[in-house]
Structure 1
Amino acid sequence: MSGSDVLLETDMNGRVLFSTGAPESLIGYPAEPIMGRLLTEIMVPDDIDMVREVLDRVAITGRVTGLIVNVARADGNHYPFSLPGVSIVEMKGAPHFTMARLKGLSAKITLEPGIVDARVFMNLANDLIDAGTMRAIRTS
């Protein structure tokens, strides 16, 4: 895991059960204060409904890839993250989500301005479902 990654595991409601990586340098919260918080609590307000929708969809499909969300840092700034893999696994008899990596995108967005905004992604989500996987569209 690189210095621009955070691994989060959540329960089926999106409550963070585990965090590792670089949460403090990327989102401004040490791992401990994130534990027990809802994933939607660290997202920007404009992305909260979309994140809830994705959590509902992943409960059905089991996976989502290529999602871009904006995290609300502890200092009030926003930070774009790619959520490249979400899957449901069993842990102690209870299903939970493993967010494979929340990868910081600041440099990538500078290099790839065509990455589709999260709100556009959700508007297209129904068209993106393919064999249980949602894929983000990149503009050319």
Structure 2
Amino acid sequence: MLKAHRNFAVNRITQASLINKPVPDWVGRDVFTLDSLQRLGKLEFGKNIEINLVLKVQKYACQHLYERPLSKEQQITIVDDTWRQVSATVANTTRLQDWLVSMSQLSVVIEPLELKVVIFERLESGMQLYNHN
């Protein structure tokens, strides 16, 4: 069983089809259905609009993007000793936005402007929570 084990980034699946093959007994019956994964927020069918993402990322925070690129077309260019610019075509999903918010101390969204505004508003909302307590 472990020889056949594979890890897949479920959030990067953009299309899927069902097959009539039995699921092994050790897999929960409703865990990996498309409906279940979508309810858990792991899939965002219908919302995955591709965007050309451009980020300014601190040098050391950018290292993992060499090993785990955001897309096949990802390009990383050196800005200076501290910063790198990352360009990639990605799906604009809630999970992407969550990741960008989590990287907010280490990166800045340059493009698209609409996404930059969304990330800024989410960060501002969090700051208001801290400022009022």
Please confirm whether the aligned pair reaches a TM-score higher than 0.5, indicating the same fold: no
More strand by share: 1
Q: What interval of TM-score do these two structures reach, taking the shorter chain for normalisation?
A: under 0.3
With the length of structure 1 as denominator, give the TM-score of the two structures: 0.24
